[in-house]
Amino acid sequence: MTATVQTVDTADGAFTLVTDADGSVLASGWTADVDAMLSRIHPSLRPEDVHVGDTAAADAVRGYYDGDLAAIDAVPVRQRGTELQLAGWSALRRVAPGAPLTYTGFAAALGSPRAVRAAASICARNAPALFVPCHRVLRGDGSLGGFAWGLDVKRALLAREGGETLL
């Protein structure tokens, strides 16, 4: 499989995307390190060839950072995982900007209110960050919890989306 990689500048730093031939985002995040992005992709989806190019997904990132928070919603993503992970990633795409969930609320939305650790793991294994907005999930006490791209980025994303400014 061949993929396209593109890095764009954002208010939160360099943002790199890896997309497949269909334009689906395989991985994305706040780094310029292409190898780091490739390592986040499930082995069965990891491209053999990668070239630098323009992607429609990058236009959506620019739109998001220009204030169109819905610009990322229609961008397709492709991930591999368990049935619960796939359901979780799909559910994350429905979490509205400015209305973050707790990990407990996220687990309940998946039909397993006691599966808080599984919910956190789904967020941690999310490769197409921003497009699958795992940053919209917080600890039960309202604190940020973790984020692969750093708490400063998570805090900035939540503030940009009109969510509460948190710890």
Q: Hey, which residues are catalytic here?
A: 134
Which residue, chain included where needed, has tokens 């209110």? 113
Amino acid at 59: D
- How wide is the angle at C-alpha 136 spanned by C-alphas 130 and 138, nearest 5°? 140
Q: d(Cα 142, Cα 100) in Å, to the nearest integer?
A: 9
Query: 47: which strand partners?
Result: none
C-beta contacts of 79-83 below 8 A and 24+ residues apart: 79/26, 79/42, 79/45, 79/126, 79/127, 79/128, 79/132, 80/42, 80/44, 80/45, 81/42, 81/122, 81/125
Q: Which two tokens stand for residue 119?
A: 């919910």
Among residues 14, 8, 101, which one has the least CA distance to residue 57? 8
Helix (H) or strand (E) holding 1: none
